[in-house]
Structure 1
Amino acid sequence: MTQPHSFLPIIRAGIDTYRQPVVYMREDCHLCRAEGFSALTRVRIEAGGRSLIATLNVVTAEGWLPPDTAALSIAAWNALRPERQGVQAEFSHPEPPASTSAIRNKVFGGKFDAASASQIITDMVAHRLSDLDLAAFVTACAGDRLDIAETIALTRAMTDAGQRIDWGTEPVLDKHCVGGLPGNRTTPIVVAVIAAAGGLIPKTSSRAITSPAGTADTIEVMTPVDLDITSMRRVVEAEGGCLAWGGGLDLSPADDILIRIERPLDFDSDGQLVASILSKKLAAGSTHVLIDMPVGPTAKVRTGAAAEDLSARLSAVAAEIGIELRVHCSDGTAPVGRGIGPSLEARDVLAVLRRSADHPPDLRDRALDIAGALLDMGVPDGRGRQTAETLLESGAAEAKFMAICAAQGGFHEPGIAPERAIETAGRRGRVTAIDNRRIAKIAKLAGAPGRQTAGVLLLARPGDTVEPDTPLYEIHAETPGELAWARDYARAGTSPFQVEAEK
């Protein structure tokens, strides 16, 4: 028989903990004493026939939380879906997750199979694993510690944990960039071109993990991206394509949990990268996928050998799960376009679609290369690049992009940051390289992607000749403090622009 002391009324805490369910109790709560709950204890909460496992945070100050009451974070409240504020919930210690032994085995160099991969992902999505468990799993899989069989098992488990979309036709085209190259915002242009050509491209994208902007962050500056599957189908049926945030669609939900852990750790693994990409493509119903893989000394993929290894892993897993895949290796030695950060990248995208005289030519060329290759995957006549260019130059791609935005909820022009400062060259010479990682760090310190108009605007490119005090880049921020923080970092070390004296 359930004891009365195991129940507490629950209320909304109104605290955003991203996707981590958190419960708040006062330190003098009778339940904390009776059950031995302490800070960071994993707690099982049951109400209205639904249950949830959350992490306990103990409140030491009186005031906002009434005595003998539990408050749920936004993620916990949305997962439990109580009938109302103040409903009684039962609290208990959860059973140890079944997958912890599989994670421990992996930490010590073992392998996991399909069954243990499924159990890990099931426990992950059910929030049975603590952040320490998740960090251990991510770390144990880092680098090349997942073999092909484990990567396939993880991909399938991640796909099976969420919803899947069947479009009822082929080909369903898609593309993905492995990342590491600031400003490489080809997706909106590619989607517009493919949809204008009559192709089907229901594009889902992620938000930033370790970059100054993810594709969804940039598109959200111009149009809503938080679509559910019903809305996504409506947009795709009307326009042939969409530009949606994948995190709102319950497609491979474990990926969003792993992203939350990978973001502060600032690393991932080849196997998890492949599983992340392909599980979402499979869940989204994609049949033909092109992978853009920038290769450069400061990109995510740094060498040709690393690109070959990652390409082989992607191809092997794609073949096993029934996706036709092509890898497009591209130049990753410098950022693409001029803008780094959501609004600045959106402005570059619009300049290309609108055929503006000052559009960034490198972004235009990359987008057309990818769109052309995708068109050739769907209709292999070898004229994809030519078709893509015609659709862009005729204005058909711009019109299609605006139609997609209208179907998703309307179009908004990107804004510009109120605080800006220019950084200049310190010597005469030729710009030979731009450090992708360092320029991205400056943009993030300025506030990107959380501050939509923050970031970096590039004013010089590799190959340019500069004089002392020639503007190299402009930092954009929404507050004076963030601008100062970014400038301090930019000036504290080596410049992201490598300038060599001309002979």
Structure 2
Amino acid sequence: MLKLKRIGIDTQNESIAYVDRHCQLFRPDQHRALKKVSITGEGGREVLASLAIADDEGIVADDELGLSEQGFSSLGLPEGSPVTIAPAVPPRSLESVRSKIRGATLSSDDIRNIVVDIAHHRYSEMDLAAFLIGSASFMTTDELLALTEAMIAVGRKLEWRQPMVVDKHCIGGIPGNRTSMIIVPIVSAYGLTIPKTSSRSITSPAGTADTMEVLARVNLSVDEMRHVVNECGGCIVWGGNVNLSPADDIMISVQRPLGIDTREQMVASILSKKVAAGSTHLVVDIPVGQSAKVRGMEDAVRLRKLFEFVGDRLGLHIDVAVTPAAEPIGRGIGPVLEARDVMAVLRCEADAPSDLREKSLQLSARIIELDPACRGGTGYARARELLDSGSALRSMERIMRLQGPPSMTFNLGELTHEVNAKVSGKVRDMDCYRLARIARLAGAPLDRGAGIDLLRKTGEVVEAGEVVYRIHAAHAGDLALATEAAERNVGFAVAPASLP
């Protein structure tokens, strides 16, 4: 037996076990080639973890076993509890992964066993990467359905006791596209239930949860989330705190570094989360543009059909909106700047971004018209009325009040660099990917106040030397990196005034 010790290291989705190199009870040098070890404690509680050997007695003593934050939380035992450590038995489902790599089509049982093992952290990152790459090479629609159903089954599923629970999801790739934070208060003010669980950013300058956190607390428990929804009709919270489709969170942690983002895996990820959140009706936004995730209508149609196929079989009503994505939405890229734009739209300020307002109204209208009580063709007018009358703003203020204030005040980055037009003319093209990259180099979303403030958009006239956008950062090093990237490629083009 070893004594359990909590190691205050956040290892994201992977549990790490720390054992002193001179531990005589386990002798880690003999086991260093193990992919996983099994940690067992009182009541048969078990967690699987990767093994790390410590040479510093300040980390663990020779009679202790340390667990990173994730492993310690999963095991659920107090520090000092007696635990045993042993080599973990390799999951049987790995044989199915090997079959998939060889090009086999997996059965529903095969996929269910794989997902259960993933959710219980029985796969190493190498095992998980093998499954993801094998699936990315070829996946049938039946396999996609089985994967989605298995991902729903291994996590929590929320029930709202409402005949209609609506939601909206954008597949991403467009900076500033914070329509959800406007749609939720409009739709909840209308009277539909819309419990919005959102992700934090992984590769973009801001996720909905990052931006909402500028305005209110987002790491609510399930009970707190229920209270907000029951009182307000909606919420905007971080989904990672309520254990919806946990296997998806684990897979995403490996997908993103590998650059794997297939249509099938995207559909399984989104729909497993929405069904687990209790949604009955979902509007999916697929932006299409030269620098978006989806570049053309042919790909958009294929993706739409996958959403509809899986949604039909899960009993989830899907309405897919294919929207143009030639430039960022709104004026801000980064959490503080995007929160500014959202509140400007909700407050109906004169200089509020018209594109963010219009897209939010269009998508809100599609959700409202899902309501059988809404007369066909009146959804847009009703959404606009709710926004212009201040009802949506009051709904958002109630949601913010009940979710609670943010943990700290987030301010716009004080260090700035201005990017100027080289010639006079009209802004012709804006590269969403490039501008998002510059905003991330400036520190977004980790520094909530970092990002890009867009002063001109496509079609607007500029003079040579005029500022097109301003980079904000909190640290000089980040500002230097973003400035250097902008000097290499500013992310926009200006058509000289002499050209049509």
TM over 0.5: yes
Which position in structure 1 is the counterpart of 2:418?
422
Does the 8 A contact of 2:26 with 2:85 survive in 1?
Answer: no
- Measured after TM superposition, the shift of residue 450 of structure 1 is 1.4
- Is residue 2:17 matched to residue 1:23? yes
- Measured after TM superposition, the shift of residue 465 of structure 1 is 2.3
Q: For each residue in 1:5-48, what CA deviation from the matched residue of structure 2 results, as whole angstroms up to 9, or x when unmatched?
A: xx322211100111211111233333453672216731110112
Give the distance between the partners of 2:248 and 2:224, measured in 1 at CA: 22
- Is residue 2:108 matched to residue 1:110? no
The change in CA–CA distance for 1:194 and 1:414 in structure 2 (over 3 A counts) is farther
Which position in structure 2 is the counterpart of 1:283?
276
Does the 8 A contact of 1:392 with 1:398 survive in 2?
Answer: yes
Give the distance between the partners of 1:358 and 1:293, measured in 2 at CA: 27
Question: Any idea what SS the aligned residue of 1:472 has?
Answer: strand
Question: Which segments of 5 or more consecutive residues in structure 2 lack a partner in the other structure?
Answer: none
Tell me the amino acid that sits aligned with residue 385 of structure 1: Y
The change in CA–CA distance for 1:343 and 1:34 in structure 2 (over 3 A counts) is closer
Tell me the amino acid that sits aligned with residue 242 of structure 1: C
1:87 equivalent among 76, 81, 89: 81
2:202 equivalent among 203, 206, 209: 209
Question: Any idea what SS the aligned residue of 2:214 has?
Answer: helix
1:227 equivalent among 211, 220, 227: 220
- Is residue 2:427 matched to residue 1:434? no
Give the distance between the partners of 1:442 and 1:32, measured in 2 at CA: 48
1:480 equivalent among 476, 479, 490: 476
Give the distance between the partners of 1:267 and 1:453, measured in 2 at CA: 29
1:385 equivalent among 355, 375, 380: 380
Matches within 5 A, 1:52-451: 52-82=47-77, 84-142=78-136, 145-379=138-372, 380-381=374-375, 382-410=377-405, 415-451=411-447
Tell me the amino acid that sits aligned with residue 454 of structure 1: A
- What is the TM-score of this pair, normalised by structure 1? 0.95
- Measured after TM superposition, the shift of residue 67 of structure 1 is 2.9
Give the distance between the partners of 1:148 and 1:333, measured in 2 at CA: 31
Give the distance between the partners of 1:113 and 1:223, measured in 2 at CA: 44
2:485 equivalent among 450, 467, 489: 489
- Is residue 2:35 matched to residue 1:41? yes
Question: Which segments of 5 or more consecutive residues in structure 1 lack a partner in the other structure?
Answer: 1-6
The change in CA–CA distance for 1:413 and 1:88 in structure 2 (over 3 A counts) is closer
Give the distance between the partners of 1:337 and 1:413, measured in 2 at CA: 22
Give the distance between the partners of 1:242 and 1:436, measured in 2 at CA: 28
Count the aligned residue pairs.
Answer: 494
- Measured after TM superposition, the shift of residue 415 of structure 1 is 2.1
- What is the TM-score of this pair, normalised by structure 2? 0.95
- Measured after TM superposition, the shift of residue 150 of structure 1 is 1.0
Tell me the amino acid that sits aligned with residue 94 of structure 2: T
Does the 8 A contact of 2:34 with 2:87 survive in 1?
Answer: no
Does the 8 A contact of 1:134 with 1:261 survive in 2?
Answer: yes
Q: For each residue in 1:122-145, what CA deviation from the matched residue of structure 2 results, as whole angstroms up to 9, or x when unmatched?
A: 000110000111112222223x73
Does the 8 A contact of 1:458 with 1:474 survive in 2?
Answer: yes
1:13 equivalent among 7, 10, 17: 7
Give the distance between the partners of 1:59 and 1:467, measured in 2 at CA: 61
Tell me the amino acid that sits aligned with residue 325 of structure 1: I
Does the 8 A contact of 1:348 with 1:359 survive in 2?
Answer: yes
Q: For each residue in 1:138-157, what CA deviation from the matched residue of structure 2 results, as whole angstroms up to 9, or x when unmatched?
A: 22223x73221111001100
2:457 equivalent among 461, 467, 491: 461
Give the distance between the partners of 1:31 and 1:106, measured in 2 at CA: 39
Give the distance between the partners of 2:456 and 2:38, measured in 1 at CA: 55
Give the distance between the partners of 1:228 and 1:148, measured in 2 at CA: 34
The change in CA–CA distance for 1:203 and 1:496 in structure 2 (over 3 A counts) is same
Question: Any idea what SS the aligned residue of 2:52 has?
Answer: strand
Tell me the amino acid that sits aligned with residue 478 of structure 1: A
Q: CA RMSD in A?
A: 1.7
